[in-house]
Structure 1
Amino acid sequence: MNRPLAHGVGSSHDLPISPFHAYAGAFAALFVSFLALGLLWSASRFRGADGGRPLPAAVRRAADAPALRTGLRGLGLLAGAAVCLFLLAGPDDPDRNPAPGAVHVLFWVGLVPASLLLGPVWRLLNPLRALHTGLCRALRRDPATGPVPLPDRLGHWPAAAGLLAYTWLELASPEPASAGALLAFLTGYALVQLAGAGLCGRGWFDRCDAFEVYSALLGRLAPVGRRADGRLVLRNPFDGLDATPAAPGLVATVCVMLGSTAYDGFSDAPSWIDTVQTSPLGRTPTATLGLLGAVALVGVLHSVCAGVVRLISGPVPHPFTAFVHALLPIAAGYLIAHYCTLLLTEGPRTLLLAAGSRPADGPAPPLGPGALAALQVTAVVTGHVLGVVAAHDRAVRLFPAARAVAGQLPILVLMIVFTLGGIGLLIA
């Protein structure tokens, strides 16, 4: 019988977190940061796509070397083929088959620290890019273009839909770790992406591939990136955040990132487990409604915040997306807090399974309960503080000086709501 892979670190009530100290510390950090920024930060300091110091020429040449890029693309193709082979020929049991762990842990969870450190790494490893390029060469077509121009209004909407489909598989489907379910998802996803790239060219992957967009958004916080002139630079991560393009569907993608992680944490609560088990609708429909509700709630809160900001500060260019980049550090903080132990315990176990070993369990958590609790709360609070800083810098650029601080009050309230909700998921 298949068992879903464990998520997070187990029951949240096992963590020795004092609710009063966690909430008070988080509120104080956000409020003090807001006051300090309002008093000391009166002009925009971030340079967006123009920021950063070029890395040494030798480093840039090595990073852009065709041999390295070809090798990484080949590595991604090899890893993807291995996962498919394990799904097709391996046992339909996640205790003996490494494929579920490779997808749900090494790939999905591991993509977070890799992107935060190195930038949009999945763009270099994506096996679907390699398949698309190979097919185009076989057909003597230019992979950069297709018969249909990629519509600007499409934006990231397919990426948001793809992320929602994957998180449904992971969090709400009947058997998320079964070989059949994973194989069906990966096959369907690959066909959709290859069809899109075949119609619109490889630019489809940049904007519409769910995992490339996910990696690229998290990679906005990486200390390395590319300037507008294409140079690889060492940069202030806030410059990367500030350069986030306001594409259609961006808000929906970020809402899926935040809402799905929040639902994953809430789904461990005993009250929700009882609701799912006793619901007359059945487990899967109830879990699906819970996931959709969490994503919708994040979207509604963001929409209300954007509307109030406009009422207070007057017309704002692209009001719905003007501050969505400030939610990316919050999403990163949630992901780190929720999945760090899963990666460090289930990740090595998956590698041992792939190597032919049969470990009973993964290694013990590298941190004790107290240290783990501190790490989780710190990740959530740090993400929100970074979001406040990013939002403040954008506000003093967009709003007149007299309205800059007042215009941020709805954003501060939203940050506090998200912070308290995130900590509540850890200690409830």
Structure 2
Amino acid sequence: MVVAGAGAALAHATEGGLVLLLPTDFYTAAGASAVALTVVLMAVLPEPVLARIFAPLLLLRLPRTRAPEITSMLVALVFLSLVWTGLSGSRDPMENPLSLGIWTGFWIIIVTVQGVAFDIWRWVNPWAGPVSMLRGLGLRPVLHLPVRLGYGPAIVTFLAFAAFLMADPAPADPGRLAVFGGVYWLVNLLAALIFGPRWLRRGEGITLLMRSYARMSLVARRGGRLTLGLNGWQLLRGRVPRGGWAVFVLVILACGSFDGVNETFWWLGVLGVNPLEFPGRSAVVWQNLAGLAAANALLLGIFAGTVKAGLMLNRSALPLAEAVRLFAPTILPIALGYHIAHYYTAFLVEGQYLWAMLEEVAGNSHQGHGHGDHITTGFFNTTETMRRIWLTQAAAVVVGHVIAVMLAHAVALKVFGGARRALLSQAPLALFMIGYTFFGLWLLASPRGV
């Protein structure tokens, strides 16, 4: 896994070896069949039933609060202290709080909570509080962020983050991570001061990623009320964003997919690298950057072609750009499901290190014991535990695709009206989602050489 302590996680060769012993072909076929059956079910399911499935429940009324600005300030201070620790502390990613905090605490845990449960980013955004405080001191934007740029700046900044994650020779190295993270935070803080808070909505890639996944969460604040619904319900009830956001959603999926592809024996074979004698990430930096760019271009082209085929089958006059804008958000469950699956094994290991470090900070650890003393990776060493781990990962991928199929059909019913027209428009997209299920499960089962 390309996360903090990646070397530690992948040092357990039994993990990959035992996965290769599992009947993953059977599991993959079963997962893709579940998605295909969902497509068939959508074809016969009455529209009111689908509407009820995604109907949210209104819970308690929530008071207005400025507490998120306070917590954002605190998180910004914690982040800056972690950057300093990254520059001055241990070079071991499993010992340095910066690497664990960013790659495990944020990239694995907080992103998952954001997409599955609730909008935690509202409370931990490290820019919102500082920007609000500085504006309160009288600082005002000096430039207007051009509307014609759309979400282009956010796409660029997110791709910069993805490139560091997947192509940098050592993204978990505390020193390298401190420089990248510190510069990234400062540049976006200055941009938010120059262009105003709008930069955090349309220019900063991590914030837009988190705002996108917030639309997938079970719980949300709507009209001053706490509201609960099936993951994805907000995508059917919120305002459809501009086309640039749809492109950003596709970029999320493309980057997440390549984050798995670039570790496989297949990819190393394409590059002409012997995976059993891998020379190190520094030998494939430019190749991974090219692969990341190609993955994005390929997915954008395939998705646009799929949507266009659906419009042609349906004989719809709906412009392609508008159709992509409407249907692209429905693939967010796929991106989130694969993110969870891809990083699950890393979470099982690095999560223990993070918990132990938090215990030490809280003063609960026994004096004189390093926080790695109680870390275990024994669950990678038996076929039964690896079967459970792999099936959990596969379930995340399959559930994501099932929800995506349901959302896409619900959107099609809204756009095209009748069930027959909706079905025709969704046939190519449904095939795309079934095929992507095979692809996602193949990635999980593929041997890895990085």
**By how many angstroms is 1:287 displaced?**
1.6
Kept in 2, the 8 Å contact 1:12–1:425? The answer is no
1:27–1:97: structure 2 CA closer, same or farther, 3 Å change rule? closer
Alignment-mate amino acid for residue 316 of structure 1? L
**By how many angstroms is 1:73 displaced?**
1.9
1:231 paired with 2:225, answer yes
1:212 paired with 2:207, answer yes
Q: Could you say which residue in structure 1 is the equivalent of 2:429?
A: 411
1:416–1:13: structure 2 CA closer, same or farther, 3 Å change rule? farther
**By how many angstroms is 1:365 displaced?**
6.7
Deviations 1:175-203 (A, max 9, x none): 21223422232233223312321233213
1:427 paired with 2:421, answer no
1:244–1:422: structure 2 CA closer, same or farther, 3 Å change rule? farther
Partner of 1:316: helix, strand, or coil? coil
Q: Could you say which residue in structure 1 is the equivalent of 2:399?
A: 382
Q: Distance between the aligned counterparts of 2:388 and 2:331, measured in 1?
A: 26
Q: Distance between the aligned counterparts of 1:233 and 1:83, measured in 2?
A: 35
Q: Distance between the aligned counterparts of 2:107 and 2:4, measured in 1?
A: 15
**By how many angstroms is 1:337 displaced?**
0.8
Alignment-mate amino acid for residue 72 of structure 2? R
Q: Could you say which residue in structure 2 is the equivalent of 1:303?
A: 304
**By how many angstroms is 1:90 displaced?**
0.9
**By how many angstroms is 1:9 displaced?**
6.7
Kept in 1, the 8 Å contact 2:4–2:99? The answer is no
Q: Distance between the aligned counterparts of 1:107 and 1:130, measured in 2?
A: 18
For residue 159 of structure 2, the aligned residue among 140, 164, 178 is: 164
1:347 paired with 2:341, answer no
Deviations 1:122-146 (A, max 9, x none): 23211222222222233x146xxx3
Deviations 1:199-226 (A, max 9, x none): 3321321332222221222221212113
**By how many angstroms is 1:411 displaced?**
0.6
Partner of 2:323: helix, strand, or coil? coil
Q: CA RMSD in A?
A: 3.0
Kept in 1, the 8 Å contact 2:114–2:120? The answer is yes
Q: Could you say which residue in structure 2 is the equivalent of 1:283?
A: 284
Q: Distance between the aligned counterparts of 1:423 and 1:7, measured in 2?
A: 23
Q: Distance between the aligned counterparts of 1:7 and 1:39, measured in 2?
A: 49
Q: Could you say which residue in structure 2 is the equivalent of 1:97?
A: 96
Kept in 2, the 8 Å contact 1:176–1:182? The answer is yes
Alignment-mate amino acid for residue 321 of structure 1? R
Q: Distance between the aligned counterparts of 1:258 and 1:323, measured in 2?
A: 14
Kept in 2, the 8 Å contact 1:43–1:393? The answer is no
Kept in 2, the 8 Å contact 1:197–1:205? The answer is yes
Partner of 1:232: helix, strand, or coil? strand
Deviations 1:163-184 (A, max 9, x none): 2111211111122122342223
Q: Distance between the aligned counterparts of 1:253 and 1:47, measured in 2?
A: 29
Alignment-mate amino acid for residue 79 of structure 1? V
Q: Which moved more, 1:346-355 or 1:397-406?
A: 346-355
Q: Distance between the aligned counterparts of 1:223 and 1:207, measured in 2?
A: 24
Partner of 2:227: helix, strand, or coil? strand
1:13–1:320: structure 2 CA closer, same or farther, 3 Å change rule? farther
Q: Distance between the aligned counterparts of 1:172 and 1:129, measured in 2?
A: 29
For residue 364 of structure 1, the aligned residue among 373, 377, 391 is: 377
Q: Which runs of structure 2 are paired with 1:179-328 in the superposition (5 Å)?
A: 179-227=174-222, 229-242=223-236, 243=238, 245-273=240-268, 275=271, 277=273, 282-313=283-314, 314-316=316-318, 318-328=322-332
Q: Could you say which residue in structure 1 is the equivalent of 2:42?
A: 37
1:122 paired with 2:121, answer yes
**By how many angstroms is 1:46 displaced?**
4.4
**By how many angstroms is 1:4 displaced?**
6.3
Q: Distance between the aligned counterparts of 2:375 and 2:153, measured in 1?
A: 35
Q: Which moved more, 1:301-310 or 1:245-254?
A: 245-254
Q: Which moved more, 1:193-202 or 1:383-392?
A: 193-202
1:411–1:79: structure 2 CA closer, same or farther, 3 Å change rule? same
Q: Distance between the aligned counterparts of 1:366 and 1:246, measured in 2?
A: 43
1:150–1:362: structure 2 CA closer, same or farther, 3 Å change rule? farther
Q: Could you say which residue in structure 1 is the equivalent of 2:411?
A: 394
**By how many angstroms is 1:71 displaced?**
4.1
Alignment-mate amino acid for residue 405 of structure 1? L
How many residues are paired up? 415
Q: Distance between the aligned counterparts of 1:185 and 1:207, measured in 2?
A: 21
Kept in 2, the 8 Å contact 1:333–1:379? The answer is yes
Kept in 2, the 8 Å contact 1:88–1:179? The answer is yes
**By how many angstroms is 1:285 displaced?**
0.7
1:26 paired with 2:31, answer yes
Kept in 1, the 8 Å contact 2:98–2:178? The answer is no
Q: Name the TM-score, length of structure 1 as normaliser.
A: 0.87
1:194–1:266: structure 2 CA closer, same or farther, 3 Å change rule? same
**By how many angstroms is 1:398 displaced?**
0.9
Kept in 2, the 8 Å contact 1:329–1:387? The answer is yes
Kept in 2, the 8 Å contact 1:13–1:426? The answer is no
Alignment-mate amino acid for residue 272 of structure 1? W
Give ranges in structure 1 of 5+ residues lacking alignment. none
Matched-pair identity in %: 26
Partner of 2:91: helix, strand, or coil? coil
Alignment-mate amino acid for residue 148 of structure 1? L
